[in-house]
Amino acid sequence: MRSPEDELAELDAASLRRTLRPVDSPQQPESIIYQKEVTSFASNDYLGLATHPALRQAATEAIETWGTGSGASRLITGSLNPHRQLEEFIAKAKKTESAITFANGYTTSVGTLSALLEKGDTVILDKLSHASLVDGARLSGATIRVFPHNNLDKLERLLQSTSQSAEPNRRTLIVTESVFSMDGDLAPLREIVALKEKYHALLLVDEAHALGIYGSHGMGLAEQLGCSAGIDFHMGTLGKSAGSAGGYIAGSKAFIDLIVNKARSFIYSTAAPPAQAAASLAALKLIQSGEGAALREKLWSNLRLFSELTDSPRPESAIIPWLVGDSQKALDLSNQLLDQHSILAPAVRYPTVPRNTARLRITITAAHSEKNITQLCEILNSLA
């Protein structure tokens, strides 16, 4: 029998072993890591809402009213008001008939895909889709097809062949992210919607890294591109720009009812704490407000500054992949930034990204100061 020590040694040899990093401060640019002050460029809290007074107040008031836990699955103990209010707001914001929330983004992906699909159906995923989407597709038992990243020609060929061979009453579901989590680039959503409609397929778009950042109301890339109506399933997370936690799926009432009845990660999980739902609702309201618009402008101003100071193309999102290639070199560079310059820019390696594409995953937020960004850029330029 193999030992865990042997497996860990293999990970060490391949520079792929992960460790948990102790943090003794809230998630914000100035953090305390390994008991020293550092500037973090690791968080997905793109608008800096995780410590916002409005979210703190909403969570505190919810604890006072509803307590700290939900007791059980919502199908057992019922739906608390904070969950219902949050889902009604999401459905309205996404212009859909209904919405349902999960405890986190991973359970949203796994639960939704395994509820919507079964053996005989087909799911067609972008090659760079998040691991949770891939896992959900595998659990569903559906036939899985993968198209090269953002390759519309290959997507159309897969849709064409699937439509010709599919049996009656079988579903074909296209799955993509709007902003890809490791490269920070954007999906051609308008074109994908057109293909989906041409071949009578369904479309799920994960806006995890787009919510709060794009659109006149901050509801994501689909809102910005004006193609929301062509998307059947709007997925997202409340743990990134919304500064809280949880995931959501919005769509037609019938499909959402089906997910409630078939998503095992929803049925068999204790509901998220009511304070989490209350904080998420406060965040979404803030994102749609004038303050939210100002935070988005601050974020994009910070991204423009990074581009100017590093003489690099303007980022398409808050995610900046600083490509290194070799896993050990990426680890060494990340450690050098932390140890010598008190900057946290985590190394991302296989299997999170393809082999030989290890990189620093740098995230810029609205909470970063001009001084934070200038310091980072000066150091990166000196290492180039």
Query: Exactly one of 87, 121, 177, 223 is catalytic; which is it?
Result: 177
Task: Name the one residue in this structure whose structure tokens are 């997370």.
Answer: 237
Please tell me which residue in 240, 269, 280, 302 is annotated as part of the active site: 240
Q: Where are the beta strands (DSSP E) in 74-177?
A: 98-102, 122-126, 143-147, 172-177
- The residue annotated as part of the active site, out of 52, 94, 130, 341, is 130
Active site annotation includes 181: yes
Q: Which of 52, 209, 234, 341 is catalytic?
A: 209
* Angular region, 167: left φ>0, alpha ψ -120 to 50, beta rest: beta
Closest-CA residue to 187 (of 217, 139, 219, 147): 147
Is 206 considered catalytic here? yes
Reduced to 3 states, what is the DSSP secondary structure of residue 371?
helix
User: Is residue 130 annotated as part of the catalytic site, yes or no?
Assistant: yes
Q: Calculate the alpha carbon distances from 229 to 101, 159, 205, 213, 223 in Å.
A: 20, 20, 12, 19, 9
Q: Is residue 368 annotated as part of the catalytic site, yes or no?
A: no
Angle made by CA atoms 367, 26, 331, in degrees to the nearest 5? 80
Distance of CA 45 to the CA centre of its chain: 11
Q: Of residues 87, 183, 206, 223, which has the active-site annotation?
A: 206
- Cβ distance 218 to 240 under 8 Å? no
- Give the Cβ contact number of residue 274 at 10 Å: 22
Among 44, 70, 150, 372, the one annotated catalytic? 44
CA 123, 126, 128, 129 torsion-angle sign: negative
Catalytic residue among 31, 129, 150, 181: 181
So which residues are the catalytic ones? Answer: 44, 130, 177, 181, 206, 209, 240
